[in-house]
Amino acid sequence: MEYKDVELNKKLIRVFKNGNVHLFKTKNGEYTTPFDNPSGYKTYRKKTKSYYIRIQINRKKYYAHRIVAFAFLGLDIKNTKLQVDHNNHDTENNSVENLDVCTGSQNKQNRRNIKGYWLNKKTQKYEAHIRINNKRIYGGSYDTEEEAHARYLELKMIHHDYYRYVICSH
């Protein structure tokens, strides 16, 4: 199994491509067995309604997906503006193949269950829309929810490069 040894918060850790993170004690400069739970512990994030694996290293808490991205994808772990996207939406799958470093805006493009339309009560029509850099782009009004949602998906393909890369290439 492929891994990298990296230093994080003054502690040497072994990060595997499959998403496992092991913390090691060193004895005379040699590795011994892992001393913490290799998978870390699950923590529930209300905001995203998902479970994430969190690991504590010298009293500082890190998300496992950020550690894997730091080791293999070049993430600056201190830069909180950069996020790590789980391509298949499984937040417990921290394998390198399932992760991408992205901005917050790009990460939102990979969200599930977004309707992309709303009912205009005045006209009784469904209006499609999409957001780009916090600006709403109008996609037209439609008689049915299905038509409005289809237009929303078209707008995603046109305007969201990240969506096109992550969703359509997998």
* Ramachandran angles phi, psi of 36, nearest 5°: -110, 165
The pTM score is 0.69
Q: How confident is the model at residue 162 (pLDDT cuts 50, 70, 90)?
A: low
Confirm if 160 and 107 have CB atoms less than 8 A apart: no
What percent of the chain lies above the pLDDT cut of 90?
31
Which residues, other chains included, contact 137 with Cβ-Cβ below 8 Å and sequence gap of 6+? Answer: 129, 130, 131, 155, 159
Confirm if 153 and 163 have CB atoms less than 8 A apart: no
What does the mean pLDDT of the chain come to? 81
pLDDT at 53 exceeding the cut of 80? yes
pLDDT at 37 exceeding the cut of 50? no
SS3 136: strand
pLDDT digits (tens, 9 = 90+) for 56-115: 888 888 999 999 999 999 999 999 899 999 988 888 899 999 999 988 877 777 776 678
**Sign of the alpha-carbon dihedral angle for 76, 78, 82, 88:** positive
pLDDT at 43: 67
pLDDT at 26: 63
In angstroms, rounded to a whole number, what is the distance separating the alpha carbons of residues 127 and 91?
32
pLDDT at 139: 92
